[in-house]
Structure 1
Amino acid sequence: MDHRALIASLPAETKDRLQQRSDKAGLRHLGLYGAFIAALSTCILLQVPLWPLLILPQGALLVFLFTLSHECTHKTPFKTGWLNDAVGHLVSVPIALPFVWFRYFHLAHHKWTNDPERDPELGGKPRPDSWVSLLIYLSGWFYWSGMAKVLVLNALGRIDAPYLPRRQHSAMKTEARVLLGTYALAAVSLFFSSALFWIWLLPVLVAQPILRLYLLAEHGLCPPVANMLENSRTTFTNRMIRFLAWNMPYHAEHHAFPNVPFHQLPAFHDWTQAHLKSTSDGYSEFTADYARSIVR
């Protein structure tokens, strides 16, 4: 059964229930997530005993804001529409991911998932296929350099990707200029205080390999076919990772039915588990499988 047949087979009341958004669920998750970031930031700034050990978990929380931004592009974390947009714009700042631009980039990814030529996440390039390319990928170099290029070109109004609607070009130009201005002010602030370096810049740099491995598992080693239950991977992992990633380890489920909000994905998994084609028992298993594919 492919994802279309699966969705068609769902009882109407089940389909409606699975698509129900909730401000309460979204704000509860966001509040707890933000509390962790605030607590770690405070401990780092106060230099509590062993505070350097907090840099990596702080970075993991910050870089995984990507998964919240991703959910906001689908308008699913919250029932209230403006909340999705406001949070999406807010979390774009620490990860340099312009929200309006990303929404249409990501919608194109859903339309052409794992298509080597048309999926913009691939950009016509293969995933890392050697140890050198894998290490460069894990460093986050391709992400940071790519986002810097997007921000500069968008700020200049040089927006030409076919999946970016012309009616949104002005908004993309404005958001790029606002983000670049914000980063310029942040850079100036470093001459007066190192606070942002310790609670933001260094953490998002050192935690990149964690996010990159997680993202590689979403579609890596999956076939370039149309069935979302096959071209996307569900990774069975622990509650901490699911919290960090807003339940996106249920990634085949998300691609099969993007209207299902994060808090309903475990329930939707009950319907999909017998039909999943690409799964891994944890990220360590996927990483080992990927490493073996490079060796071969």
Structure 2
Amino acid sequence: MGVQGVSDTKAVSTSIDSLRAAIPKHCFQKSTSTSMSYIVRDIALVCTVFYMGTQIQYAPTFALRCALWALYSVFQGFVFVGIWILAHECGHQAMFDNGTVNDTFGLIMHSFLGVPYFSWKYSHARHHRYTNHMEKDTAFVPAQKDGNHLMAKVQDKVKHVFHMTEDAPIVSLIFLIGHQLIGWQTYMLCYASSGYKSLALSKDPRTTSNLSHYSPTSPIYLPSQRLAILVSDLGLLAVGYGLYYATQVMGLTQVALLYGLPYLWVNHWLVAITYLHHNHGDAEHFEQGTWTFEKGALATVDRDFGFVGRELFHGIIEFHVVHHLFPRIPFYHAEEATGAIQPMLGKKYIRDNTSFLKALWKTFTSHHYVVEHETKPGVLVWAK
């Protein structure tokens, strides 16, 4: 399976400073020309594939048109994800030296894909700050046995109704499809899977109703961030109007096929990538007293998605651990930076080369909740 996992006997003795020192200094340097070349390349790819999509209507048979639309949606979905990741890099200020330039390009690219740029930027920054913290992480905080986790309770109820076992494939498939299709919107609208101390303001998300990433007054954000949230919403309104205008010119069906289908693929890949970065049999989670930044960052996972992962997804799947340690390293230096620190991390470095989609199914069907580690107080591991 190609897994390098956590060792109970070999602890990481390296600090963030020593890891930083091991990485060549140029890996931390941003190149305006290189960053712009990736943005121009991905926009050119979107436009090229879009043009090819507009020609599908002229295919001679219905069956051929269906096959071409399926092919178009998959490939344009890949390219859209590439755009999403470049905006993600801008959110980390990892594309350009100038913060305003980062935010301008990030706002444009994320708005195009229906993402409220600043809203996501602020909550995502706290995810990086408190990765795998059971109370303060903002995303994919796992359920605990007999805990107050909505999705775990719903799955148990459905399985009981259908009189199926814990490992019933059909039930797991239904929930996996739902997880992939609406997981992103659920997080953006309801702050689902977040820790109960993860809000910027001192409130418990379990007892708070206004948890939308689109609301400037949400306790997810500080009062000083509200104007930026409003700017994010205005960006989405502009794109929404653009799509409305496109339907008047091209028709609703054509816009749904050209934009809507790839958008669904973006949802799928975005949720799958993020989920598999933070769910693995060797990835530990930590309670308040035992969590440290280093422990949380090193409990993330590098995986492999071949050509698509490295070229179209900009290596975000393959080199995610170093991104959590040093999120301002430009993605085009992440492979070199990973190679520099991996020998220092030893078995603390988690890499799983299992087929990506196979890993998604295996992880989703086997990792339901975490339990206390048998010998490490304050450390939680996935129940077997």
Q: Smaller-chain TM-score range?
A: 0.7 to 0.9
Per-residue CA deviation, residues 202-254 of structure 1 (Å, 9 max, x unaligned), is: 22124532332222111112211441453111113424312222221211111
Alignment of 1:190-205 (within 5 A): 190-194=247-251, 195-205=254-264
Per-residue CA deviation, residues 139-192 of structure 1 (Å, 9 max, x unaligned), is: 1x132244356899566642222xx23212122123213423531452354244
1:246 to 314, 317, 321: 314
Per-residue CA deviation, residues 241-290 of structure 1 (Å, 9 max, x unaligned), is: 12222221211111011121111101111123232432111424533541
Other-structure match for 1:177: 234
Residue type of the partner of 1:220?
A: N
For the pair 1:134 / 2:176, whether they are aligned, the reply is yes
Range that drifts further, 75-84 or 151-160 = 151-160
For the pair 1:56 / 2:124, whether they are aligned, the reply is no
Structure-1 separation of matches of 2:118 and 2:307? 30
Q: TM-score normalized by structure 1?
A: 0.84
Aligned residues of 2:215 and 2:229 also touching (Cα < 8 A): no
1:40/1:146 CA distance change after superposition, 3 Å = same
Aligned residues of 1:94 and 1:200 also touching (Cα < 8 A): no
Aligned residues of 1:96 and 1:147 also touching (Cα < 8 A): no
Other-structure match for 1:259: 328
Other-structure match for 1:290: 363
Q: TM-score normalized by structure 2?
A: 0.67
1:234 to 302, 306, 313: 302
Unaligned stretches of 5+ residues in structure 2: 1-10, 144-148, 156-171, 192-209, 287-291, 369-383
2:137 to 119, 142, 149: 119
Residue type of the partner of 2:284?
A: P
SS of residue paired to 2:327? coil
Structure-2 separation of matches of 1:232 and 1:152? 26
SS of residue paired to 2:250? coil
Other-structure match for 1:224: 285
Residue type of the partner of 1:235?
A: R
What is the aligned length?
A: 292
1:216/1:153 CA distance change after superposition, 3 Å = closer
Aligned residues of 1:4 and 1:256 also touching (Cα < 8 A): no
1:144 to 163, 171, 185: 185
Aligned-pair identity (%): 17
2:244 to 187, 192, 195: 187
For the pair 1:277 / 2:312, whether they are aligned, the reply is no
SS of residue paired to 1:190? helix
Per-residue CA deviation, residues 30-53 of structure 1 (Å, 9 max, x unaligned), is: 222222111110000122655312
2:50 to 36, 41, 55: 41
For the pair 1:5 / 2:15, whether they are aligned, the reply is yes
Q: CA RMSD in A?
A: 3.1
Structure-2 separation of matches of 1:56 and 1:137? 18
Structure-1 separation of matches of 2:139 and 2:36? 29
1:143/1:237 CA distance change after superposition, 3 Å = closer
1:100/1:10 CA distance change after superposition, 3 Å = closer
Aligned residues of 1:98 and 1:175 also touching (Cα < 8 A): yes
Shift of 1:75: 0.8
Shift of 1:292: 5.3
Q: Which structure features the higher share of helix residues?
A: 1
For the pair 1:160 / 2:219, whether they are aligned, the reply is yes
Per-residue CA deviation, residues 11-43 of structure 1 (Å, 9 max, x unaligned), is: 48x453221011121112222222211111000
Aligned residues of 1:228 and 1:252 also touching (Cα < 8 A): no
Higher Cα Rg: structure 1 or 2? 2
Aligned residues of 2:116 and 2:232 also touching (Cα < 8 A): yes
Unaligned stretches of 5+ residues in structure 1: none
